[in-house]
Amino acid sequence: MNKKQVPVVAITFGDCAGIGPEIAVKAVLEPKAHARCTPVFIGDRGVVDDRSRMLGVKIHVHEVETPGRYRRETGVMNLVHVPGIDLPSLALGQNQAQCGRAMLAYVDKGLELVRAGAVDALIGGPHSKKAVDLAGIPFQGYPPYLALKTGAAETFLMLVAGRVRVMNVTLHVSLRQACDLVRKELVLSGLRLLNKAVRRFGVARPRIAVAGLNPHAGEEGMFGNEEQDEIIPAIAAAKAEGIEASGPYAGDALFYRCAESNRFDAFVGMYHDQAHIPIKTLALEQGCGLLLGVPFLFATVGHGCAMDIAGKGVASATSLVETIDLVSALAAHDLKQPA
């Protein structure tokens, strides 16, 4: 049995021109963010002080240089300071190259801490792909970036809000490209990882509902062949492996069943908006995203960096707090497993 009982969870600021640092400061003041873990934030100290002044709140910033010397108190921010933001030139609500570079530096530092065993899980703050693009760095979001950094063959995002769990087969690509990517092997890989992930929530035999790609799930080939050629064979292969998957169901009819939590334990969407709409409709502020396929526990908040409200003091930290709480529970479960 691992002797460590309370996991250490690292949280990056995300894009400093957005709401990431603001909700980080607000989360530090929430007892729930400290209830099941020791949170450690990764970002720029000057940005923390600036956002605290903007919000008119007082937190104690405990800069951490030696991993392990963390404090676990409401109102105390354990901070791994990673410089890179020039405050005088930081324009809130605007995409900037410096913010894109800093955002990735925070994630890279988090990976370093994970590999060193200094933290048990990593949460990525809300990011802006455009800011990274302005920095001249190829970036399509956390899943492909983490796959590149960890050598993972495939990664999938599972959005979670309570008992509603929805996985994307494809994510930040054009709809045209998503259609091309929906293949039996990719759908099957996603079903395997989703089945394993949902079991970590205590569901012994997850019931997984799979959406079709085309209207009416293709209507037996009338509106497309992807269901017949790719999705149905993937479901059949998953069933042969003992995974309780069913479908494909028409996308416009499937997700109303999200409210029927006793019927399915998880859902699979074929493309970004198909999978994200139910979560953002039913529980935007409670949602978080778990990354499947990487060799450690990684999650992100269920929303973007909200440039339109950055610096106005109105951003809600609910999604971040819920993400910290969920990741803490999963990390605590892992710590209790035999070494």
CATH 3.30.1490.100 fits domain 163-282: no
Task: Specify the pLDDT at position 324.
Answer: 96
Name the amino acid, one letter, at 202: G
Task: Pull the structure tokens for residue 26.
Answer: 């607000």
CATH numeric code, 1-153+289-339 = 3.40.718.10
Task: Specify the pLDDT at position 11.
Answer: 98
The per-residue pLDDT string of the chain (339 residues; one tens digit each, 9 = 90 and over) reads: 344 679 999 999 999 999 999 999 999 999 999 999 999 999 999 999 999 999 999 999 999 976 678 999 999 999 999 999 999 999 999 999 999 999 999 999 999 999 999 999 999 999 999 999 999 998 888 988 999 999 998 899 999 988 889 999 998 788 899 989 999 999 999 999 999 999 988 899 999 999 998 888 656 766 778 888 899 999 999 999 999 999 999 888 877 766 565 789 999 999 988 888 887 777 666 778 899 999 999 999 878 899 999 999 999 999 899 999 999 999 987 766 655
DSSP per position, 176-214: HHHHHH--HHHHHHHHHHHHHHHHTTT-SS-EEEEE-SS
For the chain, give every domain's residue range.
1-153+289-339, 163-282
Task: Specify the pLDDT at position 338.
Answer: 56
Contact (Cβ atoms closer than 8 angstroms) between residue 302 and residue 280:
yes
User: How far is Cα 166 from Cα 172, in angstroms, rounded to an integer?
Assistant: 16
Cα dist from 148 to 65, 190, 197, 230, 276, whole Å? 27, 18, 21, 26, 24
pTM of the model: 0.89
Name the amino acid, one letter, at 42: I
Task: Specify the pLDDT at position 253.
Answer: 80
Task: Specify the pLDDT at position 337.
Answer: 67
Q: Do domains 1-153+289-339 and 163-282 have the same CATH topology?
A: yes
Task: Specify the pLDDT at position 113.
Answer: 95
Beta strands in the chain (DSSP E): 8-12, 38-43, 60-63, 76-81, 121-124, 156-161, 164-168, 207-211, 244-249, 266-269, 288-292, 297-301
